[in-house]
């Protein structure tokens, strides 16, 4: 029996994805199997690759006082979507906290010339305000100000595991009773800085990515944002909120292995999944689906496969796994939250999503690589897994509202 | 003392006072001329004098790292040593690293922009890219010490250190770690300094070789401070202070919120850790006077710590503890006017 004061539930999910704004767009797009990845040439001269764009945003980049980066605006729209129908005048809403992850934040607003003469750049074309959006904390502030939320605000930076960690930390804050409700997620815009960075590391596949395929060549970048509204079950029940899912378990670990490469056997990630299952008091057979980190890079996908083999070693049947980065790329600091939203979607509609373009999967006796058609199946529990540069790992386990 | 308390058992810092383990013996510091980049006339700040990290922590290799990562490695090593911890005898999968920063690895981020300015986005230098990520310092701390627990980097405008400490204590409270290395820091770069300058935030002391005036702008500073946080009760550990509880918010009735957290407790010391202009008449001391009773000692913000972007709280704490405040409760207090506050309640031994 779950203790309502210690049970964290999801009462709102807002997303901005390359499919559009809202969970309905995401659900329709992803269930149809549509890939948003397309060839792009205009990100900077000489760049040719596959990316997934959100398109123009229905929110101004500046008002009389502030300038909002694209990551800020993606986050503000996702947060607005997450709290649609909430009583924004209530004390609980006003005292809520915001934890937002971003790796790009305001980097999209800054041009290379800043490095040569910062003072001149600040004095030109609103440079001072544009640079003010640089700190990652600006995204949480933008969300808080946009919605009139006054509680604790915080940014999380753990590379590509950032927004999964934001959700985990928000859950801790709720257990501490430090806020009545938490908005947690991540947001990242496509920009030349990150495209150039990953390109310089030779981590990009110029074609649409093929996670977990033996012929995978790298990742594609996408953009988007997702925000979950979390609260304790007793508070949600007290205000008659609709519970969308239960956050049954969460865990964070580090590989302590290499500054960019994952630990080759996936030990840190396997530990992370084990700890999340322990918190959820779930056996490994109870996890009906894993939304993988699955970037499509040679190193990540093999290490991640080893991690599944370790974490799910005692399962009777192979664990069903897919990477939804094959639909709209890797959204970096937003990836963990977007994939948490998709994991909640799979629990709610009982749909196991396939990895697109997975024709020749890595051989693993412990993993059931989902490919081809959507599989319909009741899912009591599903897991979302994230990892990132610096050895960061995070795992979240969601259960159905009836669990 | 409640078993929920978390003890601060080790301190390390890399600051304009130098790389130091334990408390910092108070001495006055004056801003120094900036020489790391070409300036138009005299420009002053509290800067960290260059040092070789390997001279402090033998074997440390930091040549390709952002200074923030290098300093985090040194500060964490000094704090662990100060705590008297032998990591080899501990389960390092249960040790967390939580790092609070405002700007992250700004130096290598600027280097990456510089390579884009020179070579175009298509010809950038790959080496500064992953090392410029904000979580690189925490990752290097984990890598060097072999710490496989939660590894988290947080930012919170003006309150990054406070946020890091609150969240680290939460990890201990919920059994997600047995010990945490908690760090806070920022570096000063040309782009950051000139942003302050164009925004008109700097003190006249940045332009004149005169003593620091009260108020009216601030002097930028830099550094990283590290604390070892562990559940109270390790027998051989001496605690500098025990973290009891914390509150932070972006707006609202700061005094009312803090009084509610105190629950009738009366801190004997209030350590003002405000960001920016360090003056006795600033918003943090005013809030301290509102909260404290007449017997409370109010420790004014320290200029060297107040200039460290969003992450000066730990240096404020270390400097205040160096004054050997008598026992009782201490409140580490920061307010950003109408842009938020943080209050951390500590039990002093």
What's the rounded mean pLDDT across residues A176-183? 96
C-beta atoms of A44 and B120 within 8 A? yes
Query: Residue A283's CB: how many other CB atoms inside 10 A?
Result: 11
For residue B318, which of B87, B1, B21 has the smallest C-alpha distance?
B21
pLDDT tens, position by position, A347-379: 999 999 999 999 999 999 999 999 999 999 999
Q: Are the CB atoms for B322 and B344 separated by under 8 Å?
A: no
- How far is Cα B138 from Cα B153, in angstroms, rounded to an integer? 7
Q: Are the CB atoms for A226 and A341 separated by under 8 Å?
A: yes
Mutation target for B interface from A112, A171, A252: give the one with most B CBs within 10 A: A112
- How far is Cα B167 from Cα B335, in angstroms, rounded to an integer? 19
pLDDT tens, position by position, A387-398: 999 999 999 999
Q: Where are the domains of chain A?
A: 8-238, 250-400
What's the rounded mean pLDDT across residues A168-182? 97
Count interface pairs A-B at CB distance under 8 A: 222
CA torsion sign for A179, A183, A186, A191 is negative
Give Cα separations from A49 to A299, A306, B73, B127, B150 (angstroms). 20, 29, 37, 21, 34
Provide the Cα torsion A338, A253, A320, A205; round to 10°.
60
Mutation target for A interface from B198, B199, B245, B338: give the one with most A CBs within 10 A: B198
pLDDT tens, position by position, A119-140: 999 999 889 999 999 999 999 9
State how far Cα A164 lies from the chain centre.
Answer: 6
Shortest alpha-carbon distance between residue B124 and chain A (Å): 6
Q: Are the CB atoms for A182 and A99 separated by under 8 Å?
A: yes
Inform me whether the pLDDT recorded for A317 exceeds 80.
Answer: yes
Q: Are the CB atoms for B158 and B254 separated by under 8 Å?
A: no
Q: What is the ipTM of this complex?
A: 0.97
C-beta atoms of B195 and A122 within 8 A? yes
Phi, psi angles (nearest 5°) of residue B128? -75, -10
Inform me whether the pLDDT recorded for A267 exceeds 60.
Answer: yes
Q: Are the CB atoms for A355 and A369 separated by under 8 Å?
A: yes
Whether the CB of B14 is below 8 Å from some CB of chain A: the reply is no
Tokens of B77: 């090593």
- CATH for the stretch A250-400: 3.40.47.10
Does domain B6-231 fall under CATH 3.40.47.10? My reply is: yes
For residue B93, which of A227, A209, A268, A202 has the smallest C-alpha distance?
A268
C-beta atoms of A255 and B148 within 8 A? yes
**Which residue ranges in chain B fall short of pLDDT 50?**
1-3
Helix H segments across A127-214?
127-132, 137-147, 162-175, 192-200
C-beta atoms of A389 and B135 within 8 A? yes
Q: Over the Cα atoms of chain A, what is R_g?
A: 20
> Average pLDDT of chain A?
96
- The whole-model pTM stands at 0.97
Q: Are the folds of B6-231 and B241-348 the same?
A: yes
Inform me whether the pLDDT recorded for A246 exceeds 80.
Answer: yes
Three-state SS at B140: helix
C-beta atoms of A254 and B148 within 8 A? yes
- CATH for the stretch A8-238: 3.40.47.10
Mutation target for B interface from A159, A174, A200: give the one with most B CBs within 10 A: A200
DSSP state of A112: G
Residue B9 exposure: Cα atoms within 13 Å on the Cβ side: 21
Residues 1-30 of A with CB under 8 A from B: none
Q: Where are the domains of chain B?
A: 6-231, 241-348
Ramachandran region, residue B99 (left: φ > 0; alpha: ψ -120 to 50; beta: rest): beta
pLDDT value of residue B277: 66
Query: Residue A197's CB: how many other CB atoms inside 10 A?
Result: 26
- How far is Cα A40 from Cα A206, in angstroms, rounded to an integer? 9
| Structure confidence at residue A65 as a pLDDT band (50, 70, 90) | confident
Q: Could you list the active site residues of A? A: 160, 293, 330
pLDDT value of residue B1: 33
| Residue count (chain A) | 403
pLDDT tens, position by position, A206-223: 999 999 999 999 999 999
Residues 160-219 of A with CB under 8 A from B: 162, 165, 169, 172-173, 175-176, 178, 192-193, 195-201
- Enclosing H/E stretch for B345: strand B341-348
Residue A236 exposure: Cα atoms within 13 Å on the Cβ side: 24
Residues 62-81 of B with CB under 8 A from A: none
Three-state SS at B118: helix
Q: Are the folds of A8-238 and A250-400 the same?
A: yes
- How far is Cα A77 from Cα A69, in angstroms, rounded to an integer? 12
- How far is Cα B20 from Cα A24, in angstroms, rounded to an integer? 55
For residue A227, which of A142, A353, A143 has the smallest C-alpha distance?
A143
Q: Which residue among A153, A156, A260 sits closest to B152, beta carbon to beta carbon?
A: A156
Q: Which residue's structure tokens are 């605690």?
A: B239
C-beta atoms of B126 and A391 within 8 A? no
Query: Superfamily assignment of B241-348 in CATH?
Result: Thiolase/Chalcone synthase (3.40.47.10)
- Going through A178-318 in order, the beta strands assigned E by DSSP cover 182-188, 221-222, 224-232, 245-254, 287-291
pLDDT value of residue B138: 98
- How far is Cα B252 from Cα A22, in angstroms, rounded to an integer? 31
C-beta atoms of B150 and A150 within 8 A? no
pLDDT value of residue A2: 82
């Amino acid at each position: 029996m779950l203790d309502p004061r210690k049970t964290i539930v999801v009462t709102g999910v807002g997303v901005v994805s390359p499919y559009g704004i809202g969970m309905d767009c995401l659900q329709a797009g992803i269930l149809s199997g549509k890939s948003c990845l397309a060839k792009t040439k205009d990100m900077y001269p000489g760049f040719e690759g596959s990316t997934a764009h959100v398109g123009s945003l229905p929110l101004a980049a500046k008002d009389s006082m502030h300038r909002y980066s694209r990551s800020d605006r993606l986050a503000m729209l996702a947060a607005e979507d997450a709290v649609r129908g909430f009583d924004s005048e209530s004390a609980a809403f006003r005292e809520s906290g915001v934890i937002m992850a971003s790796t790009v934040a305001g980097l999209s607003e800054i041009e290379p010339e800043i490095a040569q003469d910062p003072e001149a750049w600040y004095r030109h074309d609103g440079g001072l305000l544009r640079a003010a959006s640089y700190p990652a904390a600006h995204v949480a502030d933008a969300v808080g100000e946009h919605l009139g939320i006054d509680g604790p605000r915080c940014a999380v930076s753990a590379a590509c595991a950032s927004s999964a960690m934001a959700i985990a930390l928000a859950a801790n804050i709720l257990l501490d009773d430090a806020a009545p409700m938490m908005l947690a997620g991540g947001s990242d815009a496509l920009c030349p800085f990150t495209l150039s960075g990953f390109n310089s590391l030779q981590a990009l596949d110029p074609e649409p990515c093929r996670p977990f395929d033996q012929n995978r060549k790298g990742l594609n970048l996408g953009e988007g944002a997702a925000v979950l509204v979390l609260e304790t079950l007793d508070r949600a029940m007290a205000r008659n909120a609709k519970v969308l899912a239960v956050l049954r378990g969460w865990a964070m670990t580090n590989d302590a292995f290499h500054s960019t490469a994952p630990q080759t056997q996936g030990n840190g990630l396997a530990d992370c999944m084990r700890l999340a299952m322990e918190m959820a008091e779930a056996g490994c057979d109870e996890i009906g689906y894993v939304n993988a980190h699955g970037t499509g890079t040679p190193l990540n996908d093999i290490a991640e496969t080893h991690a599944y083999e370790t974490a799910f070693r005692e399962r009777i049947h192979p664990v069903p796994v897919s990477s939804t980065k094959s639909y709209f790329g890797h959204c970096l600091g937003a990836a963990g939250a977007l994939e948490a939203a998709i994991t909640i979607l799979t629990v709610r509609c009982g749909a196991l999503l396939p990895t697109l373009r997975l024709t020749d999967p890595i051989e693993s006796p412990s993993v059931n690589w989902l490919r081809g058609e959507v599989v319909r199946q009741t899912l009591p529990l599903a897991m979302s897994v994230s990892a990132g540069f610096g050895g960061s790992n995070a795992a979240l386990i969601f259960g159905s509202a009836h669990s | 003392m409640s078993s929920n308390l978390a003890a601060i058992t080790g301190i390390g810092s890399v600051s304009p006072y130098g790389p130091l383990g334990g408390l910092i013996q108070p001495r006055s510091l004056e801003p120094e001329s900036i020489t790391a980049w070409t300036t138009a006339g005299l420009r002053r700040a509290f800067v960290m004098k260059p040092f070789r990290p390997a001279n402090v922590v033998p074997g440390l290799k930091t040549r390709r790292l952002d200074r923030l990562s290098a300093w985090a490695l040194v500060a964490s090593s000094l704090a662990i040593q100060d705590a008297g911890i032998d990591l080899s005898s501990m389960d390092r999968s249960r040790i967390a690293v939580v790092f609070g920063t405002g700007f992250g690895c700004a130096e290598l981020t600027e280097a990456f922009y510089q390579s884009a300015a020179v070579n175009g986005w298509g010809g950038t230098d790959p080496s500064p890219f992953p090392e410029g990520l904000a979580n690189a310092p925490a990752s290097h701390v984990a890598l060097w010490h072999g710490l496989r627990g939660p590894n988290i980097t947080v930012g919170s405008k003006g309150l990054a250190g406070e946020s890091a400490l609150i969240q680290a204590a939460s990890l201990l409270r919920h059994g997600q770690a047995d010990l945490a290395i908690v760090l806070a820091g920022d570096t000063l770069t040309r782009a950051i300094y000139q942003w302050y300058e164009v925004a008109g935030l700097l003190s006249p002391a940045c332009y004149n070789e005169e003593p620091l005036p009260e108020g009216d702008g601030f002097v930028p500073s830099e550094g990283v401070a590290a604390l070892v946080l562990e559940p109270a009760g390790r027998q051989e550990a001496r605690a500098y202070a025990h973290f009891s509880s914390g509150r932070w918010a972006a707006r609202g009735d700061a005094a009312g919120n803090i009084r509610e957290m105190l629950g009738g407790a009366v801190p004997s010391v209030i350590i003002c850790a405000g960001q920016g202009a360090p003056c006795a008449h600033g918003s943090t001391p005013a809030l301290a006077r509102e909260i404290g009773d007449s017997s409370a000692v109010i420790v004014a913000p320290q200029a060297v710590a107040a200039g460290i972007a969003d992450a000066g709280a730990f240096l404020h704490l270390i400097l205040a503890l160096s004054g050997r405040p008598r026992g009782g409760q201490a409140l580490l207090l920061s307010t950003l006017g109408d842009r938020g506050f943080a209050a951390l309640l500590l039990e002093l031994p």
